[in-house]
A and B are shown apart, each in its own frame.
Chain A
């Protein structure tokens, strides 16, 4: 009986996700190209060993980790501080809180393009401002270091409110008695923060970090429209590099190997996440 309900979705997921994923693994063992349909050769693990001699891949891997190591902690800290602020009671706090949600769901493409416009040195708002106060080069997106900073900035803008929302919800669920007890025991605000609040919402923080990690791992559209991976590969994050390999150089086989690598990293993080979030959710 349960099959009647569960089977249709299972079949669909097999067809649209699991089969393509297995096909990607198969392609990663071949020299399949986008256009050329000549004899396809089975390469075994050659594509995978090639990865670790591919300096561009190693470069994009480094960029990817730098990006995540910079953007996510900044988002966490801003989100946490603002969540602490909103715990206090002040006028219009509900309205302001809901306005803060808006950036999270802005289309990534729109966000990337808007930042590109704002950073434009001749007529962009930020571009002009930075030029006036001589912050960095005139054209941020044309500079190897500052283009990367701009990509991080864009991501921080869009995603710190996510951290804020999640942490705010976590903070409001802390029972007041705990904080009052700590206060009665003479704990200073800082002691309360580090010894009561943070330990209590640690699971929330960890889950939020895992979610953001998986999400940041597949960043694509915003960077694609903002810098297209440039200048000179300075913002060539991993998904952009895979896209370029597969669809511009036409190396589907090698691109698939890179894709499978990314998938494995993503699933390893997800495994941790599901273990946490599914605990006790099913009857």
Chain B
């Protein structure tokens, strides 16, 4: 009896902590279902749900375009990163060569170069190359943080693929690339999915490069969300509704890939 009471007590504390922690997220979601005018004039707890703000953002061409841009940049940068990093992960785990560790560490280190440091040269280079305000250009910038991140994520997955299959395939006359393509890659498919999903998330959440490197054509959703602050009055309803849309894939990934979250964060995946 005493034990059950203790359990209930612990549960109550934990529930309280989680509830307080989730308040800001609740604020975003509920405000998306309010009108701007109600947020300005009524109490924060006034809640008469309406989809008016959603109606407004989905008739807003700027927001729809930016959502598409976010999706495109995230997909391109995640796919490219997974492609190059999976080749490299195979190379780093299956071969021994001179300066292997040095090269690997050099590649991984680039993940930790602050974005603001790279934003300056990117700006000048992209302006010269005509990649400014271009979704491909933004994707390239995102590859700079995603590729080393994906490589660090993939290496343990590739290292854990049993070598027996690979050796059997080689004895049967398979070339090294065949081994990679037919054996190792399918056997590390879980890792590839995890890496893609987390790289997608990094790019999806990214703001600084989008701010500096894009303009009216290639701007992504976080830029448009911030623009809802407006010149005269912040359009909190639309801002929250569009934020909620952006959070949907984030929460789907966070909850769906729980098993891998720790690995994802441990690899240095805090921010883009």
CA–CA, A277 and B108, complex, Å: 12
Chain B CB within 8 A of A186 CB:
no
Chain B CB within 8 A of A140 CB:
no
B260 to chain A, nearest CB (A): 11
Q: Give the size range of A's interface with the partner.
A: 35 or more
CA–CA, A259 and B109, complex, Å: 16
Contact (Cβ within 8 A) A110 B243: yes
Chain B CB within 8 A of A36 CB:
no
Chain B CB within 8 A of A124 CB:
yes
Chain B residues in the interface with A (C-beta under 8 A): 7-8, 10-11, 13-15, 17-18, 21-25, 27-28, 31, 39-45, 80, 84-85, 87-88, 90-95, 97, 101, 103-110, 112-125, 140-141, 143-144, 147-148, 151, 155-156, 159, 176-177, 180, 201, 204-205, 207-208, 211-212, 222, 225-226, 229, 234, 236, 239-240, 243, 246-247, 250-251, 253-255, 258, 261-262, 265-266, 268, 270-271
User: Known contacts being A107-B243, A220-B207, is A91 close to B11, with CB within 8 Å?
Assistant: yes
Contact (Cβ within 8 A) B208 A220: yes
7 A-B contacts, Cβ less than 8 Å apart? A16-B141, A20-B122, A20-B125, A20-B144, A93-B14, A274-B105, A282-B101
Inter-chain pairs besides A17-B148, A114-B243, A128-B44, 13 sampled, C-beta below 8 Å: A5-B87, A9-B84, A27-B121, A85-B10, A91-B7, A99-B21, A107-B205, A108-B207, A109-B225, A123-B44, A211-B266, A274-B109, A282-B159
CB-CB nearest in chain A for B150: A9
A81 to chain B, nearest CB (A): 10
CA–CA, A98 and B144, complex, Å: 30
CB-CB nearest in chain A for B228: A113
User: Known contacts being A90-B11, A267-B112, is A9 close to B85, with CB within 8 Å?
Assistant: yes
B14 to chain A, nearest CB (A): 5
Chain B CB within 8 A of A102 CB:
yes
User: Known contacts being A4-B177, A103-B24, is A247 close to B212, with CB within 8 Å?
Assistant: yes
CA–CA, A220 and B270, complex, Å: 13
Contact (Cβ within 8 A) A259 B120: yes
